[in-house]
Structure 1
Amino acid sequence: MTAQKNFDVIIVGGSYAGLAAAMALGRALRQVLIIDSGKPCNAPTPYSHNFLTQDGNSPAAIAALAKQQVKKYDTVQFFKGVATQGIKNENGFEIHVASGERFYAGKLIFATGIRDILPGIDGFAACWGISVLHCPYCHGYEVRNEKTGIMGNGEYGYELIKLISNWTKDLTLYTNGPSVLTIEQKDKLEKHHIKTEAKEIERLEHSNGYLQHILFKDGTKTPVKAIYAPQPFEQHCPIPESMGCELTDEGYIKTDAFQETTVNGVFACGDNATRMRTLANAVAMGTTAGIAVNKKMIAEEF
């Protein structure tokens, strides 16, 4: 909780990108408020990988250490809550939160992430981020050479199974209904000894999120250790779009090379602005945003 209402910068979202932006701004002596709900989208994931110095640590432990380090900068404050509205005013911006409070700043950074839209398959959500995976670069090494499934169809499923074939050759494409693969795609999969299964999936059998079997609607089942199934998403926070920030065709917040959105003075970083969904990339984007915001403020003030 904070009694202060006016800041140089408000950061909405206090995970890796938001904390990295706050560190850069705190080191630049800026008055910063981080508004965060404490519910990161990778909360179910037990281990994080492909992030130098932190490989194999839990996302929660990495975030806790990051927050501890950011708190050393006394110009950075934290507010636990949910931002509900953003308004551009004559002096900059105001952010409203669910508790009814309002905060004001000259610049905004949204590090709000995205929300995965999961299918209604029983067991899918419980395995998400543990053994039902979205990214081989984050999780592929841990399930290398294991019996692995790809949940997809058509061009999307075909391209994904090509990618995953780098990590294991024991692959099956589960189309969850009639296959729409082309003849050429089917021939290529057969050439690489990749099976295709068109049965509809009833549920995923698992133990504490670790896959054991896929159970089909016809009552049969097959063992599997991991499934790659990237899902559609939506912006976790609707405020940037409501303020006029444009989205890309894929649904990410459109930014320039310095993470500024199409609204002057509003920046976005992390998973909400890129398909490169890794901790390392989120931190890099957050640092870039923090530096860019400070530089923009200096240019305006000097």
Structure 2
Amino acid sequence: MPRIRPTRRRHLPATDFDAVIVGGGSAGLSAALTLGRCCRRVLVCSSGPPRNAPSPGVHSFFTRDGTKPAELLRLGRQQLAAYPTVSLREALVTAIVWEPEEQYFTLTMTPDRGGPPLTCTTRKVLLATGVADDLPPIDGMRELWGRGVLHCPYCHGWEVQGQRLAVYGRGKTGWGLVQLVSRWSRDVVLCTDGPAGITEHGRQRLRRLGIAVREEKIVRLEGRRDGQLRHIVFASGEPLERDAVFLHAEQRQRSLLAQEANCRILKSGAVWTDKRGQTSQKGIYAAGDTTPAPQQAIIAAAEGSLAAIALNEALTREDCRG
């Protein structure tokens, strides 16, 4: 098949790439695929393991249900190899600077394998850097993360259905999550690690659902060698035998690039975008867990494709201007 080589518009600045995607997860690779098929010169920069690396599988992803996270990304990168305009680089992007006179962005990055910083220029940027989870400072919480400690019943509920489950959380957060998790099991206990912060009306509802509440301070989680949970150990009272615990962990942006570029940040910490993935800064887009959308790999992939379409259409308007 002959290669399509779109004509370079003379009125546009010469840049290394049409778009640079920061982040090589589901959102970033999906965006790269869409842009590659638009004959765009694209660079994907990724650094470090994905957020879901400890998980045994990615679920609710059409045609890929249960695929290991690393395998899903390997397949994505493999399919991008068919598009010669798409490049992949293992590097941490440390700065994004808008050059007003040249009308393009300059990105600075540090290669994962060492060496001096690199720079490149691009017309557009798509941020798909995701978030990091800040787990409660309880022994065993981090060690069991992704197997015995779970963040999303939509992602992991099926695998633990009917088992002895717990929910960690206080107030509306714990109250709402424990009711959701009760869809997957009739044996669910809410562990609040201190005063529950639940109204009497809320407690009555939990009692009607058969959900017990443990308010003692949690000392540690004890698990098996395979990462599954065995016990929740409290400062007082008997340990609680459980097979898994769900929680909504505190989150923060994995990268400060959006903040440093003066993109609008919501109170939740997510990067604001319009319906097509455009941030408050012209030329910078965002997709995936970086944004306020529900956090599932398939939704991140869809967001990446949607933002890529909007980005390509913005580039096309510039191409055809004048």
Give the TM-score of the pair, scaled to structure 1: 0.96
How far off its partner does 1:192 sit? 1.6
2:8 corresponds in structure 1 to none
- Contact 1:269/1:282 (<8 A) preserved: yes
Residues 152 and 176 in structure 1, CA contact (< 8 A), matched pair in contact too = yes
CA RMSD, 1 decimal = 1.2
Paired position in structure 2 for 1:75: 85
Map 1:280-299 → 2, pairs under 5 A = 280-299=298-317
SS state at 2:276 partner: coil
> 210-219 or 252-261: which moved more?
210-219
Query: Is 1:65 matched with 2:82?
Result: no
**Does residue 97 of the first structure (1) align with residue 109 of the second (2)?**
yes
The gaps in structure 1 that reach 5 residues or longer are none
Pairs within 5 Å for 1:104-253: 104-207=121-224, 208-218=226-236, 220-253=238-271
- Structure 2 CA distance for aligned equivalents of residues 268 and 217 of structure 1: 43
Q: Note the residue ranges of structure 2 that are not aligned, 5 or more in a row.
A: 1-14, 111-115
Cα distance in structure 2, aligned partners of 1:195 and 1:293: 50
Is residue 25 of structure 1 aligned with residue 35 of structure 2? yes
Bigger shift: residues 93-102 or 222-231: 93-102
User: 1:189: Cα distance to partner?
Assistant: 1.0
2:274 pairs with 1:256? yes
**Aligned positions, number:** 298
Residue-by-residue CA offset, 1:14-41 (whole Å, 9 max, x unaligned): 1111001101111111111111114211
Q: Name the TM-score, length of structure 2 as normaliser.
A: 0.90
Cα deviation, 1:237-267, whole Å, max 9, x if unaligned, reads: 1011110111122111100111010000100
SS in 1 for 2:143: helix
> 1:9 is matched by which residue type in structure 2?
A
